[in-house]
Amino acid sequence: LLQIYRPLNMIGFVYRELRQALTDIEEMFKLLDRDPEIVDKPDAKPLQVTGPVIRFENVSFHYDPERPILKGVSFEVPAGETVAIVGPTGAGKSTISRLLFRFYDVTSGRITIDGQDLRDVTQESLRSAIGMVPQDTVLFNDTIGYNIEYGRPGASHEEVRAAARMAQVGPFIETLPHGYETQVGERGLKLSGGEKQRVAIARTILKAPPILILDEATSALDTKTERDIQSALDEVSRNRTSVVIAHRLSTVVNADQILVLRDGVVAERGSHAELLAQDGLYAQMWNRQREATEAEEALARTQNDP
Ligand code: ATP
């Protein structure tokens, strides 16, 4: 029996490794959206996180010299606070998160964390200090439990469950016939965009990084999913220095500061109430989105009540 078992076991091992390699390749393709020339300086030091306070100082950036994307952007995220970035599509919001993760270097100006220029620290130390919840999470072809545990390999089942509960995805997982052992990904259960994002939030809760970048999904979500994700985000960003790239204005109401990015510059900044009082671009965006939500709710009422 052992003679059969050993090779079978080996095939299982190779299969798992191969499957892992394939999903890692997917991850790698996602990461290709970065500049291959970013390398550590010979004397790069590990980032020392104290606050952490993030500062963008007069940052300009272009992917293509013909087309500037950011033009002299400055802002500070004080320790433990949340800054939300809003603005029209293509304004450069996600570019700000890519620069903070140092997928690209700024063209001029500088970005610092606790006074250290990102170009002077090791990429490894920078990325381990930042938790990124991307717009589109690629899940590993493995169990949903593994996908959460990946945030901190070796975390106990209890810790994984606690993170899933905080991310508002725990009850959903518990309704699945195989619970945390459910296979997800390409060949497993297909999760919706909102479910995948909550798995990514659970993973980040487990990683517990001092800095957070949340790139909100653009896709439309129903009101309940949106509310669930909102409370998951509130949980993960509590007491962490956070940058939220927001596509839905409902997410930003409680941010300490909101930046409105337009044509590569910060066109307006302030709290939700301050920006509404300014009656500018933010107020316009807010009113437009509120009208759309009201229309959607009215439509849902007529459908439920024929
Ligand atoms: P959205 O709200 O639609 O997500 P955004 O404000 O996040 O938009 P970015 O993704 O930062 O916008 O993109 C800003 C501009 O930079 C866009 O015009 C985009 O086409 C361009 N851009 C983004 N990534 C690259 C790249 N890798 N190479 C060249 N141009 C790029």
pLDDT digits (tens, 9 = 90+) for 243-273: 999 877 777 888 999 999 999 999 999 999 9
Cβ of residue 126 lying under 6 Å from some atom of ligand 1 = no
Q: Supply angle C-alpha 272, 90, 29, rounded to 5.
A: 115
How many helices (H) does the chain have, and how many strands (E)? 10, 10
- Residue 190 clears pLDDT 80, i.e. is over it: yes
Q: What is the pLDDT of residue 248?
A: 74
Q: Is the CB of 102 under 6 A from ligand 1?
A: no
**Residue 129 CB coordination number (10 Å):** 19
Q: Does pLDDT of 31 surpass 60?
A: no
Indicate the pTM of the whole model.
0.82
For residue 93 and ligand 1, the question of a CB distance below 6 A is answered with: yes
Compute, in angstroms, the gap from residue 89 CA to the centroid of ligand 1: 8
DSSP helix/strand/coil, 306 = coil
What are the pLDDT digits (tens) for 86-134? 998 889 998 999 999 999 999 999 999 999 999 999 999 999 899 988 8
Q: Residue 290 is which amino acid? A: R
Strands (E), the chain: 54-64, 67-77, 82-86, 108-113, 116-117, 130-133, 211-215, 241-245, 257-262, 265-270
Instruction: Report which DSSP code applies to 33.
Output: S
What digits encode the pLDDT tens for the residues 212-227?
998 876 665 677 777 7
**Mutation test of ligand 1: which of 71, 95, 249 has the most ligand atoms closer than 8 Å to its C-beta?**
95
Cis peptide leading into 134, omega within 30 of 0?
no
- Ligand 1 contact, 95 CB (< 6 A): yes
Residues present in the chain in total:
306
Q: List pLDDT tens digits, range 43-79.
A: 999 999 999 999 999 999 999 999 999 999 999 999 9
Above 70 in pLDDT, residue 139? yes
Residue-wise DSSP of 233-289: HHHHHTTSEEEEE-SSGGGTTT-SEEEEEETTEEEEEE-HHHHHHHTSHHHHHHHHH
Give nearest CA residue, ligand 1 atom 8. 90
Q: How far is the CA of 37 from the centre of ligand 1 (A)?
A: 19
Asked if residue 35 has its Cβ within 6 Å of ligand 1, the reply is no
Taking the C-alpha atoms of residue 214 and residue 134, their distance in angstroms, rounded to an integer, is: 6
Average pLDDT of the residues in 180-209: 88
ipTM of the modeled complex? 0.96
Nearest atom of ligand 1 to the alpha carbon of 64: 29
Contact 89, 245 (CB under 8 A): no
Q: Evaluate: CB of 136 within 6 angstroms of ligand 1.
A: no
